[in-house]
Amino acid sequence: MRSFSRFSALGRRVSPLISGVSATRSLQTLQVSSFSSPSQSDLIPTSKLKKRSIDAEPAVLIACGSFSPLTLLHLRLFEDARNYLSLERRSLDVLGGYLSPVHDAYGKKSLVPVQHRLDMCRKGTADSDWIEVSSWEASQSGWSTTRLVLEAHHEVLNQNRKKEERIRTLLLCGADLLHSFLTPNLWSDEDIEKILREHGLACLQREGTDLATVISASPILSQYKSNIHLIPQPIVNNVSSTIVRDFLKRGLSIKYLVPDGVAEIIYRCKLYGALTRSQAMGLTRAQASTSTSQQPVSEDEAKKL
């Protein structure tokens, strides 16, 4: 399940521009800041939220990440998590899902401007009847911690709801993020505890990893293990945003790696060094022609020369 690290990507929500003690101080500064205008409800849509369907605690899945670009695997992982939680185990009633693209201030080199990433996410989820795009995180004045993102969504989704109807905001993530909780100075202890206690994780398991052992080795993870839902990944797929960007730079097809609407935006805006569709096809044909012309001449062909 290597590919899901993009949700911490899709990973570690401590900015790469800060580390160590300065990271902890920056986290504390961010946590006391108030939520920005416009209103949160305008940035966190609820039109696709489903009605309750099973006798289990209602929840939404929130994936925080770069989505640069969004891939089909990102979307498939939402489906895998909902299948497992609501249809197989029936432990949570998943009412909706949110893609939350990270702010430009996160500073990752592979990020294209957030408006492009929001547009790609909206195009990619247009045909989903339950996954939406939240622009709350992208609309803040700077980079936000995961804890703040979850709190904002929890606040909006539970306005005017009775206590027994409140929706749990579950962080959808990969195994790398769970491992990162154990990295010194990467997360503040307060953030880890609040995320686990008040929200919880839906963590996609990577093939060959034993996340149960990781949890049991950590006192804080063990304390809140009932809020950590380990999701089996039934389909192993190594598609990643990194692979897509590499294909684009090489002029290769990205068909069936990203939603068609996402590809349209990439080619139209020439993101990630992409050529236009026609240019890419021309380059591919030229590469094929060059490759063919360099094939060694067979003995039979040589006799004809």
Joined together, the tokens standing for residue 300 give: 């039979």
> Are residues 171 and 207 part of one domain?
yes
> Are residues 247 and 177 part of one domain?
no
* pLDDT, averaged across the chain: 83
| Structural contact between residues 245 and 110, judged by C-beta atoms closer than 8 angstroms | yes
Joined together, the tokens standing for residue 100 give: 């939350």
CA distances from 280 to 5, 72, 177, 247, 302 (A): 29, 21, 36, 10, 34
Dihedrals φ, ψ of 162, to 5°?
Answer: -70, 160
> Are residues 162 and 250 part of one domain?
no
HEC string of 112-126? CCHHHHHHHHHHHCC
Q: Which H or E element spans position 203?
A: strand 201-204
Phi-psi category of 160—alpha, beta or left, where left has phi over 0 and alpha has psi -120 to 50? left
Does residue 302 fall inside a structural domain?
A: no
> Are residues 256 and 224 part of one domain?
no
Does residue 69 fall inside a structural domain?
A: yes
Q: Count of domains in the chain?
A: 2
> Are residues 246 and 232 part of one domain?
no
Report d(CA 142, CA 47) in Å as an integer: 27
> Are residues 267 and 151 part of one domain?
no
> Are residues 80 and 9 part of one domain?
yes
Tokens 């897509």, located at residue: 244
Residue-wise pLDDT for 92-133, tens only, equals: 999 999 999 999 999 999 999 999 999 999 999 999 999 999
* pLDDT value of residue 1: 36
Does residue 297 fall inside a structural domain?
A: no
Residue-wise pLDDT for 211-266, tens only, equals: 999 999 899 999 999 999 999 988 888 899 999 999 999 999 999 999 999 999 99
How many residues does this entry show for the chain? 305
What would you report as the CA-atom Rg of the chain, rounded to the nearest whole angstrom? 22
Range of the domain at 166: 2-236
